[in-house]
Amino acid sequence: MFLTEISFLLSLMYMFFIKEFSFFYVSITVLIFATVWFGTFADSYSEHQAKITASSLLKVTSNLSVRKILPNGSEVYVPPDAVSAEDVILVKENEIIPLDGVIVEGVAAIDESLVTGESLPVIKSVNDEVISGSKVVSDWIKVRVTKTLKESYVYRIAGMIEKTKRPKGESEKQLDILIYGLTLLLSFVVFSLGITINLLGYSLNLPILLGFYVCLLPTTIGALEEAIGISGLTRLWNINVVSKSGKAIEAAGDIDVVLLDKTGTITVGKREPVKIIPLGSHTEEEVAKALFLSSVQDDTQEGKAILRYLQSKNYLPSEIDQAIISSYEEFSAKTRKSGIYYKSIRLPGKEIYKEMRLIRKSDFYGVYLNEKMPIFKGAPDVMKSIFRAPPDFDEKLEEIAKEGGTPLAVAVGDEIIGLVELKDVLKEGVKEQIEALKSMGIEPYMVTGDHPITAQIIASEVGINNVISQAKPEDKYKKVIEEQSKGKTIAMVGDGTNDAPALARANVGLAMYSGTEVAKEAANMIDLESDPSKIIDVIKLGKQLLITRGSLATFSIANDVSKYFVVLPALLSFLSVAKTLNVLHLPLHVAVIAALIYNALIIPILMPIAIKGISFKPRSPKRVFLENVLIYGLGGVILPFLAIKLIGILIMVL
């Protein structure tokens, strides 16, 4: 592009020097300038799009007017930068939360899609944290500010985007070398040709030679190369991932091995019940109702999941009200069990108790008359040490283990009556995503702290052959080094301090925003939504970036070759041999102008492809290569002949 600028200046100086301002010379000069302008515009536009991402984030909160609550209870409107930490602000329905803080009064539905990408509003109340940029969908809240405007979430993210550096990746450096080599070769060929023609006694004016020269320079990929890289960063920001370096995106496109943590990446990370197993002579309904009653006061994720599952199966015992007011024992790491001490309802004037439907009458009256009845769920080993286990207890536990599930024992009175199997369910579509990785030639590893049998079962369900079970932090780090020593490019996902060594060592380290500061410092990418499965999207984006660059480079070079054989025969039309090679049958002046018009216009035509990227579907590298050669290579050879001929005809008609 720099040589194109020099060519424009030389052409301009030539006209002033010989005082010849013919339409032909002016056209060449203007078209060379247009090539420079379009090339500069491609870079400027992509840089502008990147800046918009950061500035639009800042506008979300910086332009707001904040209701600050004064000590006397009155309200005053102030700009966000006038609010200090510990100040209390009021945010009403349909208003943006301007600063990070904690709710001190009120309950509201809050849309956090700007932050999390999740479109469904969440209900937040007193002591819940709120993040700047979120929107109050209903009701109102009073928020105690914890961070000033410049320390808020929105400013931190905008700062990360603005500080993103874009050093050139390896493929970009190699492409540069190729472009420099071609430019040097073409410069030598064109100016040697110009000198030779003039020595033979034929007149070849400088503007014509410069027009021919600019047509052959790899201006297309030269103009679009920077735009491709910058737009890659922008597309990454659009999926809520911030890259500390543009080089990391390109590395993502070259990934050979990806280490996927099981929990949160392959599985949801929340155990869900999948099966109820009655023991002894008990029925599934008895176990289900006892499980419901033991969980009705359980506020843990697991307890809520059990209630949802049982409700979906219509297991709703009539004793719910009594269970709610019964004394409850919470789960703890020490006891590893939770449940209620159910006290049946005493009927007025009678010394009898209401019979629970799920317990046999003889057991109820014979053992627990006038006593509180324990209804518990918990770890099988703990429950077995407290309650009486039926003969088939161990056998059923083994079956659950073979299926990769986690068992919970359910007991009523002094007896274990059944089991519930919990599983960390697979994320929706994860199997297809794993297959997509494998189809791209990427080798996935599942990393987990689980027992080898459980880990292998989960891995087989999603089609992963390589498993690192009972993994410690040093195991992840060693695996990264081991694979890199084989010349492979590695991606690693993590969120904890113990993941930091592997994140720092991996070619692409994706840290969760919700993770520790150490992990975020070690990684070269940060996912603002804290979704570990995002690594798959990052890899696809990296592949798209490389394919876009490779395809446009192939097209550009094929174009230059075609333009060489379009313009050169016209340039050498004084030779009889050259006349037979002039397949377009265009006069020299028309051929040069038409080629320059095509050369200038092809840059803005291809700019949307450079910025949006070529549509990418997971395929084998061999297939991608063949498609690029056929579409962009062959297309790049044929298109200039057709386009320049049509432009030439239009010029002659006009």
Give the residue numbers marked as catalytic: 261
**Contact assessment for residue 67 and residue 90, using Cβ atoms and an 8 Å cutoff:** yes
**Contact assessment for residue 623 and residue 615, using Cβ atoms and an 8 Å cutoff:** no
Q: What angle do CA 487, 436, 485 make, to 5 degrees?
A: 10
Range 435-472 burial, b when 16+ CB lie within 10 A, else e: ebbbebebebbbbbebeeebbbbbbebbebeebbbebe
**Contact assessment for residue 493 and residue 261, using Cβ atoms and an 8 Å cutoff:** yes
Cα–Cα distance measured from residue 200 to residue 469, given in angstroms and rounded to the nearest whole number = 77
Per DSSP, 466 falls in state E
Cα–Cα distance measured from residue 514 to residue 502, given in angstroms and rounded to the nearest whole number = 18
Beta-bridge partner residues of 129: 102
Strand order in the sheet with 122-124: 122-124, 108-111, 135-139
Beta-bridge partner residues of 327: 341
Q: Is 238 exposed, middle or buried (0-12, 13-18, 19+ CB in 10 A)?
A: exposed
Beta-bridge partner residues of 109: 123, 138
Torsion of Cα atoms, 423 then 424 then 426 then 427, to 10°: 140
Q: Is 122 exposed, middle or buried (0-12, 13-18, 19+ CB in 10 A)?
A: middle
User: Is the CA virtual torsion 643, 645, 646, 650 positive or negative?
Assistant: positive
**Contact assessment for residue 499 and residue 483, using Cβ atoms and an 8 Å cutoff:** no
